[in-house]
Structure 1
Amino acid sequence: MADVFEELLGERERFRPAPSTAWQTVEEWLNLELPTDYKELVNGYGDAIFLGHLFVPHPQGADSLLTFMEEERKDFHAAFEDLRSSSDVPDDVWARVVPWAYHDWNGDLALLIPPLNDPGSSASSGDEDWMVAVAYRQSPEIELFPGGITAFLKQILKESRFPRGWPSSRTEKWKSVEGSPLV
């Protein structure tokens, strides 16, 4: 999987993954195991800005991943509750969505949607069983992208198919957050 990310994003700057205890703390709060490709992405490229606008936190980054997830999940539920019954996000996973990135151009939130067939853990599911969702803040709507993090990034970086309203003219694929303790 690391080879796929290097092909999409270039050479990684993070050579030590977050300690397993940091991931364990996040997964205990979520009450589920995160997909492997997501953890590999964050371990290699987290605490960074993708395409000039998409902030991806890291467990030990300038803004802690756990704090980010806690705050953004709470804000998501408050902002999008009115869409709950009409969105494509299945009701049984609504409470378990996982915020993984924030788009600072327009305030959109990128979410991971756990596999539908696995209520407590993704251990028996593959990374591709997860979905990425984009919660559009400007016009409240939630769009689902099947296939997980890897498929989502391939769609954007290889196929140049961006979620609605996301600037597509950025040439810099990613850069560390200024002052990141990980560099």
Structure 2
Amino acid sequence: MGIVLPADYKRLVEVYGGGVFAGILRLLEPDCPDAMYDLVAQTAEREEILAELWEAGEDKPSELQDGRARLVPWGYDEGTGLFLYWLVRPEAEPEEWTVVLNEGRGPLWEAHPMSCSQFLLEVVAGTTSSFYFTDLDDVVDPEDRNRFEPNSQIFNR
């Protein structure tokens, strides 16, 4: 992929592996046997899909207008199609990358200047300011908020 991944993401994958947090947020992982959940495969696929959308006239996030930054997906919400990205800027260290969300089935974007692990924590704890996760209690049973289901368990069903 040509980048060094953030240390907090590496720790998440090392400790948990890929899988689903709070019943909705899927953490992508490198070398996942299913390309749909593989970080590298999804990076290539999302770059292609976004390029097509922007070529068709959908607005590109302002942070990408100068052409120097890029988006790399690290997770998504299977229910809504929302993707979670890092905003990768050449002058920024991986630990300084911003989390950027795209609603998945529309043109709206949202930025959160924090790490992916901090964003996950805020979603699970119910303290996030993200418009897309403010109604999590309507979607996820409160008991499931703190649950993590690893890909190994999901794939073996």
TM-score band by shorter chain is 0.7 to 0.9
Q: Which structure 2 residues correspond to residues 43-58 of structure 1 after superposition, within 5 A?
A: 43-58=14-29
SS in 1 for 2:91: coil
Task: Give the one of 83, 96, 104 matched to 2:59.
Answer: 83
Residues 36, 109 of structure 1: alpha-carbon distance in 2 compared, 3 angstrom cutoff:
same
Q: Could you tell me whether the CA contact under 8 Å between 1:73 and 1:99 is conserved in 2?
A: no
| Cα RMSD, aligned residues only | 2.4
Structure 2: which amino acid aligns with 1:88? S
- The alignment's TM-score, normalised by the length of structure 1, stands at 0.66
Structure 2: which amino acid aligns with 1:59? P
User: Residue 74 of structure 1 aligns with which residue?
Assistant: 48
User: Residue 168 of structure 1 aligns with which residue?
Assistant: 136
* Percent identity for Structure 1 against Structure 2: 23
Structure 1: which amino acid aligns with 2:59? L
Which ranges of structure 1 fall in alignment gaps of 5 or more residues?
1-28, 119-124
Q: Could you tell me whether the CA contact under 8 Å between 2:31 and 2:40 is conserved in 1?
A: no
Structure 2: which amino acid aligns with 1:112? W
User: Residue 155 of structure 2 aligns with which residue?
Assistant: 179
Residues 48, 94 of structure 1: alpha-carbon distance in 2 compared, 3 angstrom cutoff:
farther
The offset of 1:112, in angstroms, is: 0.6
Task: Give the one of 59, 64, 75 matched to 2:30.
Answer: 59
Residues 88, 174 of structure 1: alpha-carbon distance in 2 compared, 3 angstrom cutoff:
farther
Which ranges of structure 2 fall in alignment gaps of 5 or more residues?
none
Q: Which structure 2 residues correspond to residues 108-123 of structure 1 after superposition, within 5 A?
A: 108-115=82-89, 117-118=91-92
User: Residue 143 of structure 1 aligns with which residue?
Assistant: 110
The offset of 1:145, in angstroms, is: 0.5
Distance in structure 2 (CA, Å) of the matches to 1:76 and 1:107: 14
Distance in structure 2 (CA, Å) of the matches to 1:38 and 1:100: 9
The offset of 1:111, in angstroms, is: 0.3
Distance in structure 1 (CA, Å) of the matches to 2:9 and 2:66: 22
CA offsets 1:32-81 (integer angstroms, 9 cap, x no match): 21111111112222320112122212223232321122112222332355
Q: How many residues align structurally?
A: 142
Structure 2: which amino acid aligns with 1:131? T
Q: Could you tell me whether the CA contact under 8 Å between 1:88 and 1:143 is conserved in 2?
A: no
SS in 2 for 1:132: strand
Structure 2: which amino acid aligns with 1:40? R
SS in 1 for 2:63: coil
Q: Could you tell me whether the CA contact under 8 Å between 1:111 and 1:134 is conserved in 2?
A: yes
User: Residue 33 of structure 1 aligns with which residue?
Assistant: 4
- The alignment's TM-score, normalised by the length of structure 2, stands at 0.75
User: Residue 131 of structure 1 aligns with which residue?
Assistant: 98
